[in-house]
Amino acid sequence: MENCTRRTFLSVPAAAMATVGAPAILSAQSPSDTLRVACVGTGNRGTWLLKNVLKVPGVKVVAVCDIIPERVANAAKLVADAGGSAETYADFRKMLDQRKDIDAVVLATPDWTHKDFDIAILEVGKHLYAEKPMALTPADCKAVAAEVKRSGKIAQFGFQLRHDPATNAAEKFIHDGGIGRVLMCHGIRHSGEGLPRTTPWYHDRTKSGDMIVDQGIHILDLFRWAIGGHPLRAYGTGGQNLFKNEPPGRTCMDGYSVIYEYANGVYINFSHHYYDPPAFTGTTENVFGSEGSVDLVKGVWQPREKRGQIKLDIPNSGQDSTYMALASWVDSVKNNKQPINGAESAMETTLQALMGTKAIYEKRVVTWDEMIA
Ligand SMILES: NC(=O)c1ccc[n+]([C@@H]2O[C@H](COP(=O)([O-])OP(=O)(O)OC[C@H]3O[C@@H](n4cnc5c(N)ncnc54)[C@H](O)[C@@H]3O)[C@@H](O)[C@H]2O)c1
């Protein structure tokens, strides 16, 4: 669903790539450097992750797991087509029991499974690339973060847009002081497609955490990264304005707007809905500062008092964010480095998303202190 939209995939051989945020791994590997990976959950997202991790040098996919037989068979075929061989499993705990040689797991099961599956994988000493959100409650986020710390394993969470070349360059420019003091972030994620009708769990807010936690979280993560720290409070409004009970049983919203206040008057203003006509508004992610503003999607900036956008230097321009995220994760595992989207960061971003959702449901201002209490 999200995979091939605005940050598009360009098929460039992995070995030809330089680095964003880390991958020094892209040089030749000796066999002993091989990271033996299992992919769990080979649906929409898991298949894309599998295709990309297969391209990362020094990775061997040795097992694939899904409870739907056709999906796991398709995953095994993708591995075979890439010249490898992966054993298939329906039960990931059995897989972890039987295949002691697995070093690391890429997990892309539905949101409501994340807390238990993340912890189960870390408990048996595997490195982890886990899809977002971290979990669906603050207590569960804390439990996952605690297990990452206890295990000492490298865990990276699915905020791959941090690794998108244009966005990564734009964030670096902000962090280096290019736009002065960050004043506010403005985001729009309007689409006409909505959530996939063929995947019922997305429409059940007890399983997906609803629109902010499942989808808006990506942009909110980038804004939180740009500002630094966490919001102090959130308020907003939203609900089902168009897709009432559609598909039947839907409990997720179809649109909302949320504002997050940070320290020193800095704030985020974010609008997200599913009733955009084709190519009408789409997605924008802008960060405004005292000296100028940055477009995180395009990787351009503009001084505050001048006309005309200036292109930033974008290493690896055009490379796919998911490939870059996985390559960076492998590099972190091999060199024992903390990912830029590790547990602490993923927890704060997920809490931020849960905070906005709570504010909308309860029609009140929700504070950060409530979320971490
Ligand atoms: N980072 C991104 O841009 C992005 C994009 C899309 C989805 N996602 C995330 O990826 C995850 C999967 O989303 P999706 O769209 O692929 O959903 P999906 O329903 O298409 O895929 C989930 C897969 O997990 C499998 N599964 C469920 N329980 C399992 C179990 N116990 N053991 C093994 N497999 C099991 C399902 O059979 C299914 O094939 C979600 O957490 C979602 O939020 C992230």
**Alpha carbon of 199 to ligand 1 centroid (Å):** 10
Nearest residue (by CA) to ligand 1, atom 28, is 109
- Going along the chain from its start, the domains and CATH numbers come out as 14-161+322-342 (3.40.50.720), 164-315+349-372 (3.30.360.10)
- For the chain of 373 residues, list the mean pLDDT of each consecutive stretch of 10: 35 31 41 88 98 98 98 98 98 97 98 98 98 98 98 98 98 98 98 87 97 98 98 98 93 98 98 96 97 98 97 96 98 97 98 98 98 95
Ligand 1 atom with minimal separation from the 91 CA: 32
Q: Which protein residues touch ligand 1 with a CB less than 6 Å away?
A: 1-2, 40-46, 65-68, 71, 92, 108-111, 113, 131-132, 158, 160, 199, 214
Which residue(s) pair with 285 in the sheet? 187
Contacts 24+ apart (CB under 8 A), 299-302: 299/165, 299/166, 299/167, 299/169, 299/170, 300/170, 301/170, 301/173, 301/178, 301/179
pLDDT of residue 109: 98
285 touches 296 (CB < 8 A): yes
Nearest residue CA, atom 4 of ligand 1? 45
What is the per-residue pLDDT for 119?
Answer: 98
Which numbered atom of ligand 1 lies nearest the CA of 214? 43
Q: What is the 3-state secondary structure (H, E, C) of the chain?
A: CCCCCCCCCCCCCHHHCCCCCCCHHHCCCCHHHCEEEEEECCCHHHHHHHHHHCCCCCEEEEEEECCCHHHHHHHHHHHHHCCCCCEEECCHHHHHHHCCCCCEEEECCCHHHHHHHHHHHHHCCCEEEECCCCCCCHHHHHHHHHHHHHHCCCEEECCHHHHCHHHHHHHHHHHCCCCCCEEEEEEEEECCCCCCCCCHHHHCHHHHCHHHHHHHHHHHHHHHHHHCCCCCEEEEEEECCCCCCCCCCCCCCCEEEEEEECHHHCEEEEEEECCCCCCCCCEEEEEEECCEEEECCCCEEEECCCCCCEECCCCCCCCCHHHHHHHHHHHHHHHCCCCCCCHHHHHHHHHHHHHHHHHHHHCCCEEHHHHHC
Ligand 1 pocket test: which of 64, 131, 220 has the largest number of ligand atoms within 8 Å of its C-beta? Answer: 131
d(CA 37, CA 303): 45
Instruction: Supply the residue whose CA is at minimum distance from atom 3 of ligand 1.
Output: 2
Question: Residue 46 Cα, ligand 1 centroid: separation in angstroms?
Answer: 6
Nearest CA to ligand 1 atom 40: 110
Predicted pLDDT of residue 198: 87
Q: What's the order of all strands across the beta sheet hosting 104-107? A: 87-89, 59-65, 35-40, 104-107, 127-130, 155-157
pTM above 0.85, yes or no: yes
pLDDT of residue 285: 98
CA distance 41 to 348: 25
| Distance (Å) from CA 127 to ligand 1 centroid | 19
198 CA from centroid of ligand 1 (Å): 13
CA of 109 to the centre of ligand 1 (A): 4
